[in-house]
Amino acid sequence: MEFKLPYGLRNNELLTIEDVESGLTCNCLCPACKKQLIARKGAIKAHHFAHYKSEDCLSGLETALHKLSKEIIAKSKTFTTPILYYPNTHYEIFEETEIPIDNVKLETKVGEFIPDIVIETKGKKLLVEIVVTNSVSWKKLQRIETENLPTIEIYAKYLLETLYTHKDFGLKDSLFQTELVSGTKYKRWLHNPKINSIKKNLKDNYAELKKVKSFKTEEIGYYNLLKIAHLKRKLGKVAKTKENHTPLLIMTVNLVTSVLRLTINKYLTKD
């Protein structure tokens, strides 16, 4: 779906196409390149802003959504985090959770990078990345995981598709604001320190997590516990033949499931 620019900047305030008069009297600038915009509000095409006497830049929409998202979250008193799943499984570690917002910092350096938003809550920090066109880079994700920083990604582009469907462009008491703050459909965890704690518990008490090499990942998942001592005792000596792959696969999957469920429940009970 191709999106036309629904936002314009006037006196550093973000306005929707429906907030302004048609034509150049809108007196708005592009949120990204700061060039003059014209408000096109005809009877056939969807209302939108266009650059006046210049080509539309590719960053206007992204800049507008970033700015809008930051402003909304900065003014909010609460924020809802999405369900936290154990990696590559459907096991829930935590449900959707509404957290209080004590303070919000924008474009503030945390560790070795600068997240879009930092939410401070009960003495802790939650990092939020707003995604419009490009997801968080692999390099940034590695830094997040290395520094063990709790980080959530919000897919503003998919939320924008909903806005176009409902012709709601995201200001005041809008669908965008409600979904951005209280919804979880367009959010996901990039990293949560609780996962590292559970993985360490698994490794220390049960086995080393290894990537599957002996079976197809779509059959067994991404992890198994092939190097666990009691697994070897349980399975016995299994010949490395094609015929013996099936029983080993079934027993390994059953053991992984049991250990993972036991570890997560034990960890949550302990906390």
Low-confidence ranges of the chain (pLDDT < 70): 1-3, 163-173, 202-271
Distance from C-alpha of 170 to C-alpha of 187, rounded to nearest angstrom: 17
Here the tokens at position 160 are 């924008």
CA angle 29, 30, 31 (to 5 degrees): 110
Q: Write down the pLDDT at residue 64.
A: 86
Query: Does residue 157 share a domain with residue 233?
Result: no
Q: Do the bridges between strand 37-40 and strand 48-51 make them parallel or antiparallel, or are there none, so unpaired?
A: antiparallel
67 & 185 share domain: yes
CA pair distance 62, 156, nearest whole angstrom: 9
Determine the pLDDT at residue 263.
58
Answer with the one of 158, 191, 224 that is the final residue of a domain.
191
pLDDT on residue 182? 92
Q: Are residues 138 and 253 in the same domain?
A: no
The domain boundary residue, chosen from 16, 41, 58: 58
Q: Tens digit of pLDDT for each residue in 18-27?
A: 889 999 999 9
- Does 1 map to a domain? no
Contacts 24+ apart (CB under 8 A), 219-223: 219/249, 220/249, 220/252, 220/253, 221/88, 221/89, 221/253, 221/256, 222/87, 222/88, 223/88, 223/256
Q: Residue 39 carries which side chain, given as an amino acid letter?
A: A
User: Are 54 and 77 within one domain?
Assistant: no
Domain match, 75 and 34 both: no
Are 40 and 75 within one domain?
Answer: no
Q: Is 226 exposed, middle or buried (0-12, 13-18, 19+ CB in 10 A)?
A: middle
Residue 69 sits in the same domain as residue 157: yes
Alpha-carbon torsion (19, 25, 27, 32), positive or negative: positive
Q: Judge contact between 190 and 152, C-beta under 8 A.
A: yes
Q: Is residue 2 part of a domain?
A: no
Task: Classify residue 81 as exposed, middle or buried by CB count within 10 Å of its CB (0-12, 13-18, 19+).
Answer: buried
pLDDT of residue 4: 79
> In this predicted structure, what is the pLDDT of residue 25?
92
Overall number of domains in the chain: 3
**pTM (predicted TM-score):** 0.67
Q: Which residue has the tokens 């176009």?
A: 164
* pLDDT (tens digit per residue) in 246-264: 444 444 555 555 555 655 5
Helix (H) or strand (E) holding 84: strand 84-85
CA-CA distance, 97 to 117, in Å (whole number)?
18
**Containing structural domain, residue 98:** 62-191
